[in-house]
Amino acid sequence: MKHQKATPTRLLRRAEVLNITGIGAASSLYALMERNEFPLPVKLVPGGRSVAWRSDEIQAWIESRPKAELRQEEVAG
């Protein structure tokens, strides 16, 4: 049985989430969350306004994205 090294979960701030996912704008990120198509953030301090996203949830979202299909003219290149 192989042992895989577990990656510790980190908390990612918005700029890092946008960079990692390739989502271009915060407004797009919040629109995805509003449609329940993106993980919700966690509050960093109870009663505070600062939030961050769990890295394991962001990674799972990335892995759930369908692969892009190339058009025939792109394949023929």
3-state helix/strand/coil string of the chain:
CCCCCCCCCCEECHHHHHHHHCCCCHHHHHHHHHCCCCCCCEECCCCCCCEEEEHHHHHHHHHHCCCCCCCHHHHHC
What does pTM read for this prediction?
0.79
| 42-43, strands of its sheet edge to edge | 11-12, 51-54, 42-43
What is the domain partition of the chain in residue ranges? 11-62
User: Tell me, what's the pLDDT at 61?
Assistant: 97
The pLDDT of residue 73 is 67
Sign (positive/negative) of CA torsion 12, 13, 15, 21?
Answer: positive
Question: Which residues of the chain are modeled with pLDDT < 70?
Answer: 1-6, 73-77
Q: What is the structure's pLDDT at 71?
A: 78
Residue-level pLDDT at 72? 72
| pLDDT at site 2 | 60
